[in-house]
Chain A
Amino acid sequence: MANLVEIRDLKVEATTDSGRRVEIIKGVSVDIADGEIVALIGESGSGKTTIALTLMGYARPGCRIAGGSVSVAGKDMMTLSEKQRARVRGTEVTYVPQSAAAAFNPAATIMDQVIEVTRIHGLMSPDEARARAVELFRALSLPEPETIGSRYPHQVSGGQLQRLSAAMALIGDPKLVIFDEPTTALDVTTQIEVLRAFKSVMKKGGIAGVYVSHDLAVVAQIADRIVVLKGGEVQEVGTTEEILSNAKHPYTRELLSAFEPKPREAADAAGTAPAPLLKIENLVAGYGPSQTDGLPLVRAVEDVSLKVEKGRNLGIIGESGCGKSTLARAIAGILPAAVGKIVFDGKELGRSARERTRDQLREMQIVFQYADTALNPAKSVEDILDRPLVFYHGMNAKARSVRIDELLDMVRLPRNLRHRRPAELSGGQKQRVNFARALAADPKLILCDEITSALDTVVAAAVIELLKELQRELGLSYIFISHDLSVVEAICDEIVVMYGGRKVEDITPAKVKAPHHPYSQLLFSSVPKLDPTWLDGLEQDPELVRAYCRR
């Protein structure tokens, strides 16, 4: 037993509701040495989380470990009884979940939850555990390490909560920590701090780790070795440098190339339309009861003006909570703006969707981030695409059927998919249906609210390519809202940076206009690069970080 972890020929299978068996993991072997961090990378459904969970001898409900062996620190997790496994979990192998916010109990203080592990396993007295927790808080560079433990989970930020859940994992002095996409839900500016904290603690303690992620750039910063997975099989294994500079497997190359930003070719300057398609002037929108001055209590968007030319795209970027989604909702009329003018195609629009005509509604469509909730799970793809055709165009059944085929072709979905329900489609397919529904209305402008952020890199790149093609064919304009700079750069002619509800800067990437505003500079420099030394070499002005990051 040379290695800390030895996974040999692991097979995990699940039984579907018709009694059919599906192999999820098809014979995977992975080794992890002491103190080594190994990344499992792959698209969703590639089995990366399933493998990570078998390290704790756990298979999710409906799944079972069908063959192979998993040994951690000389113990075979397969042959241990449930009681023995429970003893190993939390002391030798620990887990940091993707969403720390969902993993904490909102009704108990953070300290009580962090030291719970030591209480369950009887590792140390509560006082010792508290002292150890404070040490860990300090090591993870959390603010006010002495007192942060007495707060409740809602009183700290998302990035802090993620580090606190790492403290919870580390307090039992584990040999192996499993990180399950711990930074996926965080903003780029926050992500840096969390990654740094994880890296320094792991290196200092010589703890081995498994880092599950779909983001190659993040993984490059923290992992020693990378295992590339697809469809439950290992595609390629190598050190981080090998994988990044000398990938052998075609799938790995695809992953890498999906990461390379393909800057958008400058749109022809001749196409400068006389009047912009959409013009927004001094828009204010927000939530809560309106105050005496007629403005809402919490203003999420303050005094934003922007315009979109015909056939050109506008990108809106900013961290979560900067008001970019609220801006989209105000433009679409879902959340009526309190102040401001929205001029679309030469006419001023009503602030609320109810005040707009059916044609005005038709010409501006919105596509939401989560295709899971944006598609009615009880309806087939056919029914979903059918409704806008009836509603806006009043087509007869035959014309609709032809048009649905056309729409499916447009978004590159096979026609036989039309009878399926959303639950039977993959994430990328759902997002395409979501987009096809917007296209069914024959719009002039499509508001895309973070449409790629729930997708894997490879799938997201394909969706972006699709959007570009459709723009060429149909002459659409997009407003593209995202927190991911590389996505926005790939498709937009102009970029608006938002911070705290205000527009801080306009950037035109085609003219290679570097960001001037300090926040834009910070945001642009925080995007991880495919370079293992990037995080260590990154230097950001601490003044700037303090001013703009609510870490």
Chain B
Amino acid sequence: MTMTHSETKAARISGIRLGYRFNIVGMVGLSIILCWALVAIFAPLIIPYPVGEIADLDYFGPMSRDFWLGSDYLGRDMLSRILMGARYTVGISLAAVTIACFSGVVLGMIAAVAGGWLDTLLSRFLDALNSIPSKLFGLVVVAAVGSSIPVLILTLSIIYIPGAYRFARALAVNINAMDFITVARIRGESTLYLIRSEILPNIIGPVLADLGIRFVFIVLLLSGLSFLGLGVQPPYADWGALVRENIGGLPFGAPAVMFPSLAIASLTISVNLLIDNLPQKIRDRSE
């Protein structure tokens, strides 16, 4: 019974007046993500040293007044590199996840509504795509075409389209079986109307949650590709590349290898915290 009390209280404290309930964990996640987004936008203005400049005389330097997060294996300022790295990690992942989820969800809904041969064709094709290991696919494409930011974005989104498709299709098939879809069909509605106005509003919650998870996967895969040297090319580096460059500092406990890892962890964990605690609309309006 005490639990009910504390829950009620917490809901009141964090309940915003807009009619949404947003708990404290979700807010923490959101603010960390916003911080990183701001950093990505304003990075060139706030970095203390240019990214490529070798500023420290020592390599794997410790944290100091001049170099807040120490220096890397060439003596470059880590803080500047991490701040600039946010642009690549956040930017590429965001673009890739948007493309992947948009195409996957739209295709999934079309397949669910249309059914028949179109559904079979799309599903089998994307299943086949799904069967290729993602890192291997990335390696092959980047090795064949060369690494550039558009190639990276497209490769990452193609890798994650089948998952988004499967997820959206599974949800849409359930909605498609409901009577209100039948009503809309015998009203004579088009497929576009069905997916946009009848199905999408009912699956948007889980789809957004899925988008969050997929964003995290993409950050990790991008970091993985960069770690293998196939991601963002030097002198620029995303966070995964920063870890790889400085992996030699691990035995010395150099901050240069810890902080990019922490940056990756903070972003991915806060995205997960946010999507697990998305603001919920309060349906009880009797008060």
Mark A residues whose CB is within 8 Å of B: 15-20, 64, 332-334, 353, 356, 358, 361, 366, 368, 370, 373-379, 387-388, 391-392, 421, 423-424, 437, 441
Contacts and interface: CB of A to CB of B under 8 A. Distances in A.
B188 A361 contact: yes
B286 to A, nearest CB: 7
9 contacts: A17-B282, A19-B8, A64-B4, A361-B188, A368-B179, A368-B183, A373-B178, A378-B202, A391-B188
Contacts of B262: none
Contacts of B65: none
Interface string B245-287: 0000000000000000000000000000000000010111111
Contacts of B188: 353, 356, 358, 361, 391
B182 interface: yes
B102 to A, nearest CB: 19
Contacts of A334: 182, 185-186
Contacts of B280: 17
B180 A15 contact: no
Nearest to A378: B201
B283 A424 contact: yes
Contact of B21 (A17, A374, A424, A437): A17
Nearest to A437: B183
A366 B8 contact: no
B224 interface: no
B11 interface: yes
Interface in B162-201: 178-180, 182-189, 197-198, 201
Nearest to B19: A18
B18 interface: no
A373 B177 CA distance: 9
Contact of B202 (A353, A374, A377, A388): A377
A373 B178 CA distance: 6
A86 to B, nearest CB: 19
A376 B284 contact: no
Given A376-B180, A437-B183, 19 more contacts: A15-B7, A18-B11, A18-B282, A18-B284, A19-B12, A20-B284, A20-B287, A64-B1, A64-B4, A361-B187, A373-B179, A373-B180, A374-B180, A387-B184, A388-B187, A391-B187, A391-B189, A392-B187, A424-B285
Main secondary structure of the interface of B (DSSP, over half): helix
Interface of B: 1, 4, 7-8, 11-12, 15, 21, 178-180, 182-189, 197-198, 201-202, 204, 280, 282-287
Nearest to A392: B187
A376 B198 contact: yes
Contact of A370 (B179, B286, B287): B179
Nearest to B1: A64
Contacts of B201: 376, 378-379
Contacts of A15: 4, 7-8
Contacts of B284: 16-18, 20
A437 B284 CA distance: 25
Nearest to A376: B180
10 A-B pairs closest in CB distance: A378-B201, A374-B179, A16-B284, A368-B179, A373-B179, A353-B186, A19-B8, A373-B178, A19-B11, A18-B282
Given A17-B283, A18-B284, A19-B15, A366 B186 contact: yes
Given A17-B21, A64-B1, A361-B188, A374 B183 contact: yes
Contacts of A424: 283, 285
A375 B179 CA distance: 8
B69 to A, nearest CB: 43
Q: Find the residue from B8, B178, B186, B280 having the highest chain A CB count within 10 A.
A: B186
A285 B182 CA distance: 18
Contacts of A376: 180, 198, 201-202
A16 B282 CA distance: 9
Contacts of A358: 188
Nearest to A422: B180
A370 B7 CA distance: 34
B179 to A, nearest CB: 4
A356 B185 CA distance: 12
A520 to B, nearest CB: 30
A171 to B, nearest CB: 34
A442 to B, nearest CB: 13
Contacts of B182: 334, 368
A320 B198 CA distance: 30
